[in-house]
Amino acid sequence: MAQFIQRSHEDKSGIRDELISGLLATQATTSPKYLYDALGSKLFEAICELPEYYPTRTETAIFDAHADEITASVGSGRTMIDLGAGNCAKAARLFPVIQPAHYVPVDISVDFLRDSVETLQQRFPAMEITALGVDFSRPFALPENVQPQQRLFFYPGSSIGNFTPAEARAFLRGLAASCGADGGLLISVDLVKASDVLDAAYDDALGVTAAFNLNLLNHINRELDADFDIRQWRHVGFFNPALSRVEMHLEARTALTVKWRGGKRDFTAGERIHTESSYKYTQPQFVALLEESGFTGVRVWTDPRGWFMVCHARGQRKGD
Whole-prediction pTM: 0.90
In a shared domain, residues 150 and 296 = yes
Range of the domain at 226: 195-279
| 40 is a domain residue | no
In a shared domain, residues 68 and 170 = yes
Specify the pLDDT at position 111.
81
| 39 is a domain residue | no
In a shared domain, residues 189 and 66 = yes
In a shared domain, residues 74 and 180 = yes
In a shared domain, residues 159 and 217 = no
Specify the pLDDT at position 249.
98
pLDDT above 90 as % of the chain: 82
Number of domains, the chain: 2
Q: Report the candidate in 276, 221, 228 with the shortest Cα–Cα distance to residue 252.
A: 228
| 211 is a domain residue | yes
In a shared domain, residues 259 and 150 = no
pLDDT band of 10, cuts 50, 70, 90:
low
In a shared domain, residues 269 and 286 = no
In a shared domain, residues 248 and 134 = no
In a shared domain, residues 186 and 237 = no
| 28 is a domain residue | no
| 103 is a domain residue | yes
Over residues 162-213, the pLDDT tens digits come to: 999 999 999 999 999 998 789 999 999 999 999 999 999 999 999 999 999 9
In a shared domain, residues 186 and 240 = no
In a shared domain, residues 245 and 150 = no
Highest mean pLDDT among 35-39, 89-93, 248-252: 248-252
| 289 is a domain residue | yes
CA distance 55 to 17: 33
| 206 is a domain residue | yes
| 41 is a domain residue | no
CATH number of the domain enclosing 299: 3.40.50.150
Contact present, 42 and 285 (Cβ < 8 Å): no
In a shared domain, residues 184 and 292 = yes
